[in-house]
Structure 1
Amino acid sequence: MDHLWFDLGSYAGGACFEVELRGSTARVCLMDADEYQAYLDGDAYEFHGDFYDVSPVVLQVPYDDYWYLVVDSYPRRIKVSYTEIFD
């Protein structure tokens, strides 16, 4: 399965990330460790995010956990960068 992924680590609910997409549209997903494993296994999974054709994308961590940022797109055509946003 073609996707880019980034290990964000442990974050508390309310943390925000800005994701910049260049070169292609993409489905941008914020997943906890269990959901990411289900995604990799081809099982049913849930995520926070959506399909985006405009950048930047802002995603908020909904609860305390270990998080992954997953970008479903064409890995050879898209450039992705992300930063944590602080208030």
Structure 2
Amino acid sequence: MEHLYWDLGSCAGGALYEVELRGSTARVCLMDSEEYQAYLDGDEYEFHGGFFDISPVVLEVPHDDYWYLVIDSNPARIKVQVAQIFD
């Protein structure tokens, strides 16, 4: 499964990330390490985010944990910039 991802590491709840999408719509998913592993394994998983066709997208880390940001789109057709805007 092709996807773009950022290993955000340990993040405190309330941290904000801004995602700028260019070239395509995408599903933007914020997942803890357990959910990300389920995603990779093709199992059921939960995430924070959704499908976006406008940007920037701002996502808030819901609680302290180890987090991944996943962009599920055609990697060849999308450009993504990610920035932490509040920690």
Query: Shorter-chain TM-score: which interval?
Result: over 0.9
For structure 1, the residue ranges without an aligned partner over 5 or more in a row are: none
The corresponding residue for 2:68 is 68
Q: What is the rounded CA distance, in whole Å, between the counterparts of 1:69 and 1:22 in structure 2? A: 16
Relative to the length of structure 2, the TM-score reads 0.97
Q: What is the rounded CA distance, in whole Å, between the counterparts of 1:6 and 1:23 in structure 2? A: 19
Q: What is the rounded CA distance, in whole Å, between the counterparts of 1:36 and 1:62 in structure 2? A: 15
CA RMSD for the aligned pairs?
A: 1.0
Q: What is the rounded CA distance, in whole Å, between the counterparts of 1:5 and 1:86 in structure 2? A: 20
Q: How many residues get paired?
A: 87
Relative to the length of structure 1, the TM-score reads 0.97
For structure 2, the residue ranges without an aligned partner over 5 or more in a row are: none
Amino-acid identity (%): 76
Q: What is the rounded CA distance, in whole Å, between the counterparts of 1:17 and 1:10 in structure 2? A: 13
After TM superposition, what 4+ stretches of structure 1 lie above 6 angstroms from structure 2?
none
